[in-house]
Amino acid sequence: MILPLLCAAVLAAVNQLAPRWATDAMGLACALAVLVLCAVLAAHASHRLVYWFGGFHVRHGVAVGIAFSVDRIGAGMATLVALMVSAALLYSVRYFDEVGSLFGALMLVFLAGMVGFCLTGDLFDLFVFFEVMSVAGYALVGYKIEEAGPLQGAINFAITNSVGSFAMLTGIALLYGRTGALNMAQIGAALATHPADGLVTVALLLIMVGLLVKAAIVPWHFWLADAHAVAPVPACVLFSGVMVELALYGLARVYWSVLSASLAAHTADLRAVLIALGLLTALIGAVMCCAQRHIKRLLAFSTISHSGMFLVGLGLLTPAGLAASGEYVIEHAMLKGALFMAAGILLHRFRTVDEHELRGRGRGGDPGLRVAAAVFVLGGLGLAALPPLGVFFGKSALDGALTPVPGYGWVVGVLVVGSALSAGAILRVAGRVFGGWGERVPRHHEVLSAVSELPETLSPHDRTPAVMVAPPLILLIGGLVVGLFSGLRAAIAAAAAQMADRASYVAAVLGGHAHAIPAPHTPVVTLDFLLAAATVLGAVALAVWALAAPAVWWPLERVQGVATAGIVVLRRLHSGCVNDYIAWLVAGLAVAGAALALA
């Protein structure tokens, strides 16, 4: 009943792109319509909805057509996607001087690709929507063709992601060769009868790598910083806020719907690999985040760091971990979107997003800058999980999910360090730009990297249009308080349990019965408050230290020396050269594969 409507809407969105005169208003209307429909869908998806395109139903246990099988997590992600796209489109109405309706068209195709990716229940269809999303993404990154940076960013993005998606397709082909099916439920049912062998492991590996490239997990993350630093701000909002997370969603979908039963014996090994990757990403992203002075690139590394944390939650391979990541993703998407938009306000006003060039220039009193300042301060604190705002509940759910899994208690500590580092960097920016504190470092510096960027507008503006102020404000408030709704938290937990329930997924798609798994419940405990407090204090301390640059006593100086050397090495590795990125991609694939194979 609802689903045809949704499809019509996605299609309408896409149809309207067709003529070039698709205007901003139409684009926005489309995105909002999709938003409403996705929300309706999410509200109704407490029972899994299955929609067969072309009206083909299952015959003799074989899926003939393509099905969208919608559960709450999928519909919820689609809703989040539509929300972010609407906000980004609203924001971009006044953002570009050269307004092109083509930009709106690309954004809507991007939206259609992402929504399709969330809802589909067919493995090859997943790949198709993945490509739709990627192709729109390449063009969006390269949108500012006048300058060198975006071109390089788009090239790196396109080549790295293409290789990733071919790896994914190879994995899909292997699974098809084994099972003769493309419907995820059917593949899952076919694989469930045997324990995993080489084919299944390698197929998992290839699909995983394809998705993790998109999710910017170390060592496949290089493209993201390049692409984000230079993409137009509305595109950054989407890349950071939802695209990266969608790739992780795809991994969860493939794992829970297809592979979980046949990999049951290897759960511990897979968990170890995923959590190791996630922690590595969280730390490297956070460290690199501190070493940036280009604000958008800094935010990009913060996204990488958070992406690692989501992977930790996901990698627990428990419904509780999935629920924690889901909650975290929602809170993070809104805050990060708001932060990128605030960076966009700065770029719009001052034609630069260099932290040091902007020092003190954000102290003006008009609403645009005040909102930007609020976004940076509160967004930084929110990302540091200041209780009870921002990502606090997601974080505490993650802590709660980690506790029952033996051997991973220490992970919490690493997460605190990672969050504190990246949030500290954001607060440092806030202090320097809006407070005028700290010193101004010359452009060429050993630790800080400078990326030149031309503005997206022709001339500096002395005021910020209201449509650029409202979306970040809304997202900021949304991101800060969304965790407070206990109903939402319960819904996410139920949704995670639903997604993790492979038997009922198969039953819903292929017919049959299965009973539901109870939803996990992770209460907030005192420890969570302590950890959050530690994160916030750490972040604030770091920011203050970076801004005040006090005289350091000798042990700290030594630590600093080592840290500097480490950062320099890390920065060398981020060479901007796509040849290196591909070499790392293959290396990461081989190492992860070896870990899975030998375990």
Site for another protein in 145-164 (CB under 8 A): 145-149, 151-156, 158-159, 162-163
Alpha carbon dihedral 152, 156, 159, 163, in 10-degree steps, equals 180
Q: Is 94 in the site for another protein (CB under 8 A)?
A: no
Task: Report helix, strand or coil for 307.
Answer: helix
Query: Least distance (Å) from another protein to the CB of residue 60?
Result: 7
Q: Provide CB contacts within 8 A for 264, sequence distance 6+.
A: 195
- Residue 67 DSSP SS3: strand
Give CA–CA dist 190/173, Å, rounded. Answer: 15
Give 218 or 369: the residue with its C-beta nearer to another protein. 218
Q: Decide whether 113 or 382 has the Cβ nearer to another protein.
A: 113
131 is a contact residue toward another protein (CB under 8 A):
yes
Name residues contacting another protein, limited to 179-198 (CB under 8 A): 179-182, 197-198
Q: How far is the CB of 594 from another protein (least distance, A)?
A: 6
**Residues between 218 and 247 that touch another protein (CB under 8 A):** 225-226, 229-230
Tell me which of 125, 327, 355, 456 binds another protein, using CB under 8 A: 125
Using the rule CB under 8 A, which residue among 45, 291, 314, 398 binds another protein?
291
Selection from 185, 303, 187 nearest residue 245 by Cα: 303
Which of 91, 96, 143, 434 touches another protein (CB under 8 A)? 143
- For another protein, the closer CB: 24 or 580: 580
Binding of another protein by 590 (CB under 8 A):
yes
Q: Give start and end residues of each alpha helix (H) in 180-261.
A: 184-191, 198-214, 222-230, 233-238, 244-254
Residue 217 lies near another protein (rule: CB under 8 A): no
Minimum CB distance to another protein, residue 19 (Å): 6
Size of the site for another protein (CB under 8 A): 110
Write out the binding residues for another protein, residues 27-46 only, by CB under 8 A. none
Q: Which stretch binds another protein (CB under 8 A): 202-210, 366-374, 408-416, 505-513?
A: 202-210
Q: Using the rule CB under 8 A, is 498 a contact of another protein?
A: no
Strands 67-70 and 49-52: antiparallel
Please, what is the minimum distance in Å from the beta carbon of residue 385 to another protein? 29
State yes or no: residue 26 binds another protein (CB under 8 A). no
| Binding-residue pattern over the window 429 to 458 for another protein, x denoting contact by CB under 8 A | --------------------x-xx------
Q: Is the peptide bond before 219 cis (omega within 30 degrees of 0)?
A: yes
Buried b / exposed e along 323-349 (16+ C-beta atoms within 10 A): bbbbbbbbbbbbbbbbbbbbbbbbbbb
Helix or strand (DSSP H, E) at 513: none
- The position carrying tokens 């589909």 is 120
Query: 33 in helix, strand or coil?
Result: helix
CA atoms of 104 and 18, how far apart (whole Å): 11
- Shortest approach of another protein to residue 576 CB, angstroms? 4
What are the two backbone dihedrals, phi and then psi, of residue 375, each rounded to the nearest 5 degrees? -60, -45
15 binds another protein (CB under 8 A): yes
| Residue ranges in 563-582 that form contacts with another protein under rule CB under 8 A | 571-580, 582
